[in-house]
Amino acid sequence: MPQGPGPFEWEKSRNGEWEVNELYSPSELGTRKSISDFKPLLTNLAQSSHYEVQFGGIPSKLKSYLISKNITNEFITDDVGLLCNSASLPTTSFATAFIDGNFTGITEKFAHTRQYQEISLDFYVDKNYKSLIFLETWMEFIASGSFGTDSAFQNEQNYFSRMQYPDDYKSNSTRIVKFDRDYKNELVYTFIGLFPTALLPIQVSYQDSQILKVSASFQFDRYIVGKSSSLDIFSGINNLLGQFGIL
């Protein structure tokens, strides 16, 4: 059989002669690229150190409880987010089910529930301990449903706790805004039904002094990727696809 020079195959025709068939055109072949071709992509990578946490949508009962502990509305909306020195962007997964019998010998897998993983936020503790008090008071309020005529003070032996209604302690517009140094693009994660579920132990010691930090785990019902304010909805950029002009 003759040897072909490139992306071709040879086959015999009915009259016994060899014919060549083109498998794919040269334009479909990969082309060599220089470093300068990759430079615009590799020099414009997102960095992990540019972000902002914004607590919003705090229910009125929770906000009143925080204010009673000297946690002002300004601290909630501005300061505590700036004190967040480390955050984790949310992730999601699907719970799946197996189906047998639709096709002989084949097991199919289908998604049935979207699952959201908890996030962790780390905060610097200021000299007035307000960031720590903010988290402690939020969690304290969640378990303060016994407050009223049948309640007891926390230092009494007969004290008991009762959970508040979820609508009174869940935040519905806390956001993590991811941007970069040029501020040209930003990615917004808006959390629906967010509340703290755990405070990690805080280590203190007589060794070399370090900045005191507190870490908290947060659960949430779901999150929205992309801008989601009423103005964004009116402008048609209220989700990830619209935000970047895909839709």
Q: What's the confidence (pLDDT) of residue 243?
A: 45
Domain chopping of the chain, boundaries: 49-92+118-243
Task: Please give the CATH topology (third level) of the domain spanning 49-92+118-243.
Answer: Pnp Oxidase; Chain A (2.30.110)
One digit per residue, the tens of pLDDT, for the chain of length 247 reads 444 445 555 555 666 665 555 555 555 455 666 666 666 666 677 777 888 999 999 999 999 999 999 999 999 999 999 999 999 999 999 999 999 888 888 899 999 999 999 999 999 999 999 999 999 999 999 988 776 656 667 777 777 888 999 999 999 999 999 888 777 778 899 999 999 999 999 999 898 899 999 999 999 999 988 865 655 655 565 654 444 444 4
Q: What's the confidence (pLDDT) of residue 246?
A: 44
Long-range CB contacts for residues 3-10, cutoff 8 Å, separation at least 24: none
Q: What's the confidence (pLDDT) of residue 45?
A: 76
Q: What's the confidence (pLDDT) of residue 247?
A: 41
pTM of the full structure:
0.74
